[in-house]
Amino acid sequence: MSSDFKELISKSSKISFDNQWDAKYENLPVVFALSIDDLNVALEKLDEVGGYGYVAIWRKNLFAFNTKLISKRCGLIDENANLLKAARIPKK
């Protein structure tokens, strides 16, 4: 994980850090995928919670991610914690 990425994303009030996930965005888990190679690992981590959560990416790499192929439950945020694609909230 890039320390620059973590430093940038930590500036958002919507982001908090914990030991289980790379971060949390409004109480949903966040995993970092700083390159397309990291995406499979990130999605596997989110499978632990049924796929509900966010993948955090560099905005400059957005063109490399086909957002339609990413789980419909999973959202995307960038390094500034800006919402690129909303995640679905699990039904309780």
Rounded Cα distance between 79 and 22, Å, is: 13
Looking at the structure of the chain, the number of domains it has is 1
Residue 92: inside a domain:
no
Q: Render 10-66 in DSSP notation, one character per residue.
A: TTSTTEE--SSSSEEETTEEEEE--SGGGHHHHHHHHHTTTT-EEEE--GGGGGGS-
Q: What is the pLDDT of residue 48?
A: 85
> pLDDT per position in the chain (92 positions), as tens?
478 899 999 999 999 998 889 999 988 999 999 888 888 888 889 888 887 899 999 988 877 776 666 767 788 999 999 998 888 877 76
Give the total residue count for the chain: 92
Tell me the whole-structure pTM to 2 decimals.
Answer: 0.86
Distance between CA atoms of residues 14 and 17, nearest Å? 10
Task: Supply the range of the domain harboring residue 42.
Answer: 3-85
**Contact by Cβ (8 Å): 79, 59:** yes
Distance from C-alpha of 79 to C-alpha of 23, rounded to nearest angstrom: 12
Q: In the prediction, which pLDDT does 68 show?
A: 65
Q: What is the pLDDT of residue 13?
A: 92
Residue 91 belongs to some domain of the structure: no
* pLDDT given at position 43: 87
Task: Identify the pLDDT of residue 37.
Answer: 85
Q: Give a yes or no: residue 60 inside a domain.
A: yes
Domain assignment present for residue 43? The answer is yes
